[in-house]
Chain A
């Protein structure tokens, strides 16, 4: 099991503001990092898979960066909208298996 930490646990954002939050992980034996978005009463949905140090991925107003040497990834939401309200999960596979270790998530609430 990998130790995956996400911070903050929750945050409230005013509509239109931008925000970001962190996923920290052991930098040794890195293979890949997954970001998922989990809206209430729905299935967790894959956002990004990141594999290379310095990777930056973007999907609409959401983007993510990866620093494998220092063991962190940031997820950014630009111009937050109410539909961005969700829990954002970070997960990494173990060094020798397909199993994922998840962080506890960051719950984002966007206020209109």
Chain B
């Protein structure tokens, strides 16, 4: 079983609040990813990191930001939450230099912005 954790699992919050979704992995993986998924839709990559102090925006534009100060930690922040941010957010990590390497996923955070 993969050792990748996300907190909180569920979050209901009011518009305008600042939120941080936590993601940690204990596998020493260099690559980490954040995906966003709406019901019935694909997982869309919103941020990724290939190492400490390296972050990139993904294929889906997002108002969130990320940081990678430590290998094991990849938090996602929304400075001012809006109802349009309501979604499920999944964190993943992988190791290695081959593109067929498996990504290991956390259990996700379901965010509801009122």
Contacts and interface: CB of A to CB of B under 8 A. Distances in A.
A36 B37 CA distance: 15
Interface in B1-22: 2, 4
Contact of A49 (B31, B45, B58, B100): B100
Contacts of A102: 35, 42-44
Contacts of A36: 105
Interface residues of A, number: 28
Nearest to B60: A1
Nearest to A44: B105
B59 A99 contact: yes
Task: Classify the secondary structure of A's interface with B.
Answer: loop
Given A98-B31, A98-B94, A32 B104 contact: no
B32 to A, nearest CB: 11
Contacts, number: 59
Contacts of A100: 45, 103
Interface in A34-85: 34, 36, 41-46, 49, 51
B59 A1 contact: yes
Given A103-B42, A104-B41, A49 B102 contact: yes
Contacts of B102: 34, 46, 49
Interface string A80-112: 000000000101011001111111110000000
Interface string B83-114: 00000001000100001111111111000000
Contacts of B58: 99
Given A4-B42, A43-B4, A103-B42, 5 more contacts: A31-B99, A34-B102, A94-B99, A99-B48, A99-B59
Interface of A: 1, 4, 9, 31-32, 34, 36, 41-46, 49, 51, 89, 91, 93-94, 97-105
